[in-house]
Amino acid sequence: MIQVERLAFAYGKTQVLQDINLTVQPGEILSIVGPNGCGKSTLLKLMRGQLPPGQGRILWQGQDIATLNRRALARMAAVVPQSTPVHFPFPVRELVMMGRYARQSGWWGASTTDHQAVERALAVTDTLHLAERPVTQLSGGELQRVLLARALAQDTPLLLLDEATSHLDLDHRLEMADLLVRLNREQGTTVVQISHDLDLAVETSQRILLMNGCGEVVSLGQPHEVLTTEHIRQVFRVEVQVETNPYSGAPRLYSTRSISNWQAPPRIHVICGGGCGGELLRRLHVAGCQLSVGPLNRGDTDLELALALNLEVAKEQPFCPISAQALEESSILCRAADVLIIAPTVWGPGNLSCLELAREALDRQQPVLLIDPRPDRDFSGGPAWNTLQTILDGGGEVAADVEAALERLKRPTPTGNGQPSG
């Protein structure tokens, strides 16, 4: 029905979509999922000719979309937008009648077919009772149903929905999902939808397109092929368990991240630098940990973040090797902490001395957690990796990534004298 061939798009110099290939099969329900700002809406805009593609092309039933006029496009696809601010107080019925524009030739009256299509659309979206109300007086959910009604009145073989269910109550959201499935089954309507509700998308879709934050397709296929633990971790950086919904057989995602079992968040000192500690600091801060950081050179993005979060920091002059004074300040902060975390930073002669802090901590029986220590980050010519090795031998623990580090911190600590968890 729609073929997207090697599509790329950029807003100015910001690359939004890269090398998208996609064929929408007639009669399927396809959901596009991905993190915020990954280009889902842009993709949908390109697919309906609202933006000219940067590279590649889009075909509708074999015809390049650039050669089709708006009326022809509107007879083939109806769009339910994310949300539109409404300023003009059109009665609901008149707003829905706008969906018939592409089908009408005259400009004055609407035909019987038009009226029937409008009434049917109002009825199936549960908005018939709102028909006389001005759209400016509707709630967000009511307005979304009215916008869906307008798209249904357009009577097209293809429906494009841009987060069209985001404002709906649970009952209307499920009802809308049912409605889409029914239209799909009974009239063969093809549906392409952007959805933030992964569970609902999975329940209703035959195929899922998963995009990552860089505007690339990570996976395209049936729900159980796309929504795997690995894909979700890769795209959303969240640990999930994939189970099967016993009622529908569709895959269902369960977050394995425990949110509320942290009664007394520990005090943590973080050694980072060069931007490697950003996510760690942010996540620990949000989780409620008391944080201190250092030593950090002025101008370091990690320092900017630490200051923005109002953390205690041991500072050093820009681009200088770490001085004894900064090290001493860090040591004081470090001693006050329950746990020391070493972020996956790059080691060189300048910051090698920071690792002394870890050795001191282990000597004090203080827990030390290293995130993803690797020899290829050692630019000191060997000493850094050797020191890291001795820290590991001396009882330092390893976490594969930030997520794992958080999980480790939440478990009762088996080592040392720190009692991070309550």
Partner 1 sequence: MSGSTAHRSWLWLVILGSALIIALLFSLWAGTLPMTPGELFAVLSGDASSPTQHAVVWKIRWPRALLAALVGAALGSSGGAFQAVLRNPLADPYILGVSGGAALGAVIALTLGIAAPLLLPMAAFCGALAALALVYWVAQAYRGSPHTLILCGVMVGSLASALLLFLLWLAPADQTRTAIFWLAGNLSSADPQLLGWTGLGAGLAFLSLWSQARKLDLFTQGEEVAADLGLAVGRSRLLIFACAGALTAAAVAIAGLVGFVGLTVPHIVRLLWGPAHRRLLPASALAGAAFLMLADALSRSLFAPAEIPIGVVTALLGAPFFLYLLRRREGNL
Minimal distance, residue 187 CB to partner 1, in Å? 20
The minimum distance between CB 51 and partner 1, in angstroms, equals 10
Choice between 75 and 282, CB closer to partner 1: 75
Residues that bind partner 1 in the complex, under the rule CB under 8 A: 48, 50, 69-71, 73-75, 78-79, 81, 84, 86-91, 94-95, 98-99, 101-102, 104, 107-108, 132-134, 136-137, 150, 154
Give the nearest distance from C-beta 79 to partner 1 in angstroms.
Answer: 4
314 and 333 Cβ atoms separated by less than 8 Å = yes
Nearest approach, Cβ of residue 109 and partner 1 (Å): 10
Pick 136 or 255: Cβ nearer partner 1 = 136
Task: Pick between residue 86 and residue 307 the one whose CB is nearest to partner 1.
Answer: 86
Closer to partner 1 by Cβ: residue 21 or 136? 136
We find the least distance from the C-beta atom of residue 343 to partner 1, in angstroms, to be: 44
Helix 324-336 and helix 355-363: axis angle, to 10°?
40
Q: Among residues 108 and 247, whose Cβ is nearest to partner 1? A: 108
Q: Which is nearer to partner 1, 147 or 289 (CB)?
A: 147
Choice between 59 and 86, CB closer to partner 1: 86
CB of 129 to partner 1, least distance (A): 12
Least distance in angstroms from the C-beta of 213 to partner 1? 25
Is the CB of 77 or the CB of 354 nearer to partner 1? 77
Report cis status (omega within 30 of 0) of the bond before 89. no
Helices 355-363 & 383-393 angle (0-180, nearest 10): 20
- Give the shortest CB-159-to-partner 1 separation in angstroms: 11
CA–CA separation, 10 vs 166, rounded Å?
26
Minimum gap (Å) between residue 91 Cβ and partner 1? 6
Comparing CB distances to partner 1, the nearer of 48 and 231 is 48
The amino acid occupying position 180 is L
